[in-house]
Chain A
């Protein structure tokens, strides 16, 4: 009996060496990323003073991570299961979120909670912020965009693209990026990262062409394509008040929210599969419907010109659905109907396998299909064979009960968390509307605000938003599996 327990303990120790080793690899990547803002010192040499706030944590993570990785991972590499991937994802995100706080505490003298909030908002591509962007250095602003860029791509995808990454699909599945473009997980990760980088280059040039400065272009391209939404201007995209800038940003936000698999199918010229795709249907239905409703019932009477009203209606619809969180106006002037449209859009959110968050269009589409299927079956003879389907990439997938159960449970846990979080905000004296809006924005990693999020927010509200953002980004089950496994294994090993 004890011998068996000992053997199991040895086995677990060996597995945790790999787990910590790969966590080390991701830590090193995070460290490298924290050094990238320093490249801006070439353009803004007067900001030299901020360098240590990035150099120290960046180099420390890089060195520590590399040592862990070289010491612990066997030379031949290792394969990870989904559960082990979940542990790595949880640990790596903790490291990234904690490391991300350092520049905020160091340079902006924020309290730990506030810095953690900013860091989480960045990594999870939410975009809620209490930073006064006018009083902040360029390097710091770029740092915020860089962590959104990386959080959008996903730590697992970046780690897998590294030549020395783990084998097996466990880790990418754990970070909610299980869908592959090609039949090998590493090649798939490399293609995703390539597509994403290409988007960013094109996006930056596009924004420069429509009139932004280079610095604003880079930051806004990163923030739009990662569906993050940090801006370098306090008025966000409203600063430019230009139809062409808004059109360009809308295009980038839609690209960010488009499933990479769909984009890849599209690149291969398979229009038919894309037209059949459920997520495309959801977007093609929701965007005109909601933009139309907002235009006629909300913005038409609020803004001086017809053109401005139409622009606002379309822009706010896309920013909420794509979970980006740029804005061009202040929502506080809006009537309740406008708020509820945005809350519904924020709950639905973007495409699966994209940089977006929230419940996601695919799940909504699956539940809609299942509902139609259920109703149809009531009219058919009992033995009839039916086959509800959904198109993913270029293949037709059939919906079975297991799939529908998974999706329904996810939506259930999401809505439970949504209402609990909103209740926490409401308990601190905010109205129901404000609470629902702000928490939908946190948990869906969107980032539009009706003014609840501010520097003097009670700690409990900040923490609930932080937990909401992390849970929303990692899709609940990964956190549950990762933390659960850590706890039960720790008990075995000690």
Chain B
């Protein structure tokens, strides 16, 4: 187990809840924020962190989650704009060392990079996987 880290996760959908459960199982301290309280039912039984029901774009909610003390901030809401904004706030206002945002639209990646926010784009990842599969199947046919 790596050293214990304090991670704040914005958004408790399929991705956010999965990350929260896995990180919690590994022994990290986790706080998950979501606007909709019913989404916390997505969390697995491995999760032993805290949940906060509230809007992540509000500074007060981030303060309550003690983002200022976080080692890592993951923005996984289903809205690119929200992810960008809260990731920027986490980086600039709260000075979190590691900030990663999910990004659906790969066209915006350049903008994010300029702002110093690391991104992971499921769209781009699946596109790459598709291309890779096509190439390997082409090669095997030749």
Contact = CB atoms under 8 A, between A and B. Distances in A.
Interface of A: 79-82, 167-170, 180, 182-188, 395
B4 interface: yes
Contacts, number: 46
Contacts of B30: 183-184
B79 interface: no
17 contacts: A79-B25, A79-B44, A167-B24, A168-B25, A168-B47, A169-B45, A169-B47, A170-B45, A183-B6, A183-B29, A184-B24, A184-B27, A184-B28, A184-B48, A184-B49, A185-B48, A395-B64
Contacts of B46: 79, 167-168
Nearest to B52: A395
A180 B49 CA distance: 8
Nearest to B28: A184
Interface in B41-60: 44-50
B64 A167 contact: no
B66 to A, nearest CB: 9
B5 to A, nearest CB: 10
A82 B46 CA distance: 11
Contacts of A169: 45, 47-48
B37 to A, nearest CB: 10
B25 A180 contact: no
A168 B30 CA distance: 12
A79 B24 CA distance: 11
B4 A184 contact: yes
Given A169-B48, A180-B48, A186 B31 contact: no
A258 B131 CA distance: 61
A187 B29 contact: yes
Contacts of A167: 24-25, 27, 46, 48
Contacts of A184: 4, 24, 27-30, 48-49
A169 B43 CA distance: 12
Contacts of B31: 183
Nearest to B23: A184
A183 B45 contact: no
Contacts of A188: 48
Contact of A183 (B25, B44, B50): B50
Sorted from nearest, which 4 A-B pairs have the closest CB atoms? A185-B48, A183-B49, A169-B48, A183-B50
Interface string B12-28: 00000000000011011
Nearest to B25: A167
A187 B4 CA distance: 10
B69 to A, nearest CB: 11
Given A79-B46, A80-B45, A186 B27 contact: yes
A169 B27 CA distance: 12
A81 B44 CA distance: 9
Nearest to A172: B48
B64 A168 contact: no
A241 B57 CA distance: 61
